[in-house]
Amino acid sequence: MNFHKIKQFIHALYLTNSFGFRLRQTKDSREKKRLRLAYSKAQLNALNIEVKVENIENLPAQGQYLLVSNHRTIIDPPIIETALEHTDIFGLWVSKKELYNSFFFGLFVRNAGCILLDREKSQMSGFFSDIKKGVEKGNSIFIFPEGTRNKTNAPISAFKEGSRIIALKNRLPILPVYIKGNAANVLKDALEDSSQKREIVIVIGNMIDYKEKGDLETLYRERFSI
């Protein structure tokens, strides 16, 4: 790890925990959204990465949705938060147990507005109950249906079935977004040298009705011609 990477790591750790502490001080979703956006912009600015939103006309200004996105990097949530800047949409992120217990992300994830997904549990009733409670309070749900970061050369990896179940159980329209290209390569280059401005493009797809026939992965691929 070179000096620039170490510097970026220390700065990212500081931002993540300082914003995690501030998020712990509020229960208000609007304030959490504001803090999450400020955190996202600070992280991306440090990397000198700009987010460009395509098909922004497909992005609703308000409402409740199941937002689904492909997933390649740890900066995907900040990319999505930035894309939603000029909306009133606030979502609870579905986060795996490892992030809750992480030295780096733990404080932030536990307080940012997240729902714990513990894959070690044999029963998922508690998870779906938490989702339902979150939706009843007026929140959207944000999820990476691939389940983990895609480290292959394919544009997306296989979707887990649970995402579609969330939409059906809670009657949530599905808002698909697609982070174009290989954001992992952009992040890698930015960590090596952040003096050059880089761009990541996120595309807003046409809404998917939760009752629309077909599996979610196929519908997602169709929206983005993958």
Which tens digits make up the pLDDT trace of 135-157? 999 999 999 999 999 999 899 99
d(C-alpha 150, C-alpha 86), whole Å: 28
**pLDDT tens digit sequence for 55-101:** 999 999 999 999 999 999 999 999 999 999 999 999 999 998 888 88
d(C-alpha 176, C-alpha 93), whole Å: 15
Q: What is the pTM of this model?
A: 0.95
Reduced to 3 states (helix: H, G, I; strand: E, B; else coil), residue 149 is coil
Asked if residue 158 lies in contact with residue 196, where contact means CB atoms within 8 angstroms, the answer is no
Return the structure tokens found at 160: 């887990």
Mean per-residue pLDDT, 48-57: 98
Asked if residue 51 lies in contact with residue 44, where contact means CB atoms within 8 angstroms, the answer is yes
Q: Identify the burial level of 58 via C-beta atoms within 10 angstroms of its C-beta, where 0-12 means exposed, 13-18 middle and 19 or more buried.
A: middle
> Structural domains in the chain?
3-224 (3.40.1130)
**pLDDT tens digit sequence for 179-221:** 998 999 999 999 999 999 999 999 999 999 999 999 999 999 9
